[in-house]
Chain A
């Protein structure tokens, strides 16, 4: 009976969400903390991700991706069973420009999970969530793939 695999922990699931996601790897995301329905990630400051060459401020699109990813990870951390999820909507308020040369952190809290939908609040910052760069709310579909099989998207739409 010893060969029955243990179910993966929330920490492992969240780690895999970064290591097995090409776009998260391409942007250099790292998991820095995983708690019960809370996840924090970091994206390193990189010259090739700058959105404003005059100031060196990182592109808003990078922060959008980080907030989307960390929000999804917090849903994975909050769910009792492992199910596929997909972002339904994501609202981001850009409160100020990110400081050039600094890594950005994003912390997400999945504060409600229902059978079909999960709700998340997330914040992006350099030093403290009390001084945010951006604030986000998101909703995710749970069991988003329905009956769709692996490789379903490689066929053209009906």
Chain B
């Protein structure tokens, strides 16, 4: 795999300017080729007020965002991939704290990328949710 040709600043421009990313108040960090998206906790993200636990939809959105951003990183300068399908496993209830997510592009084909993403809070090795998804690559030249 060639070195990424897209910088953290470019990824920020691309993703953090999206209204829904601003709504979730996410931030991203790129160290080498490792991209982490952070979703800071706030009360609006709660789905179960009694425990309290994050809404599954917030974790789904975070995982999809990190998957799309990681495909973009691997592709370099291309249009944003389109989500074809995602499957989300909810592994633990999300606590009212910050959540982190990273993704791995399992296969980058000519038209399709297969991606696995995980979200965690206290320990990276103990994910609270995971995503497997397929994304359509929209190359300008094909």
Q: B-contacting residues of A (Cβ < 8 Å)?
A: 20-27, 47-53, 58-62, 64-66, 68-69, 84, 86-94, 97, 144-145, 148, 150-154, 156-157
Chain A residue numbers with a CB within 8 Å of B125 are none
Q: Is the CB of B53 within 8 A of A61?
A: no
Q: Is the CB of A64 within 8 A of B61?
A: yes
Chain A residue numbers with a CB within 8 Å of B61 are 59-62, 64-65
Given A48-B22, A59-B18, A94-B82, A153-B55 contact (CB < 8 Å)? no
Chain B residue numbers with a CB within 8 Å of A22 are 43-47, 49, 55
Instruction: Tell me the residues in window 89-126 of chain B with beta carbons closer than 8 Å to chain A beta carbons.
Output: 89-90, 92-93, 95-96, 122-123, 126
Given A59-B18, A90-B87, A94-B82, A150-B50 contact (CB < 8 Å)? yes
Q: List 28 A-B contacts (CB under 8 A).
A: A22-B49, A22-B55, A23-B44, A23-B54, A27-B57, A48-B19, A58-B20, A60-B61, A61-B20, A64-B61, A64-B88, A86-B48, A86-B90, A87-B56, A88-B89, A89-B88, A89-B89, A91-B85, A91-B86, A94-B85, A97-B82, A144-B93, A145-B51, A148-B51, A153-B51, A153-B93, A154-B95, A156-B122
Q: Is the CB of A64 within 8 A of B84?
A: no
Chain A residue numbers with a CB within 8 Å of B49 are 20-22
Chain A residue numbers with a CB within 8 Å of B46 are 21-23
User: How far is it, in angstroms, between the C-alpha of A91 and the C-alpha of B87 when the chains are bound?
Assistant: 4
User: How far is it, in angstroms, between the C-alpha of A93 and the C-alpha of B126 when the chains are bound?
Assistant: 27
Chain A residue numbers with a CB within 8 Å of B95 are 153-154, 157
**Interface SS of chain A:** mixed
Q: Is the CB of B53 within 8 A of A153?
A: yes
Interchain CB contact (< 8 A) of A68 among B18, B23, B50, B60: B60
Q: A85 CB to closest chain B CB, in angstroms?
A: 9
Interchain CB contact (< 8 A) of B122 among A89, A151, A157: A157
Q: Does B80 contact A (CB under 8 A)?
A: yes
Q: Is the CB of A153 within 8 A of B52?
A: yes
Q: Is the CB of B51 within 8 A of A152?
A: yes
Q: Is the CB of B86 within 8 A of A48?
A: no
Q: A103 CB to closest chain B CB, in angstroms?
A: 16
User: How far is it, in angstroms, between the C-alpha of A153 and the C-alpha of B46 when the chains are bound?
Assistant: 12
Q: Which residue of A lies closest to B23 (CB)?
A: A48
Q: B136 CB to closest chain A CB, in angstroms?
A: 9
Interchain CB contact (< 8 A) of A48 among B20, B45, B123: B20
Q: Is the CB of B57 within 8 A of A51?
A: no
Q: Is the CB of B57 within 8 A of A66?
A: yes
Q: Is the CB of A90 within 8 A of B56?
A: yes
Given A61-B60, A153-B53, A50-B19 contact (CB < 8 Å)? yes
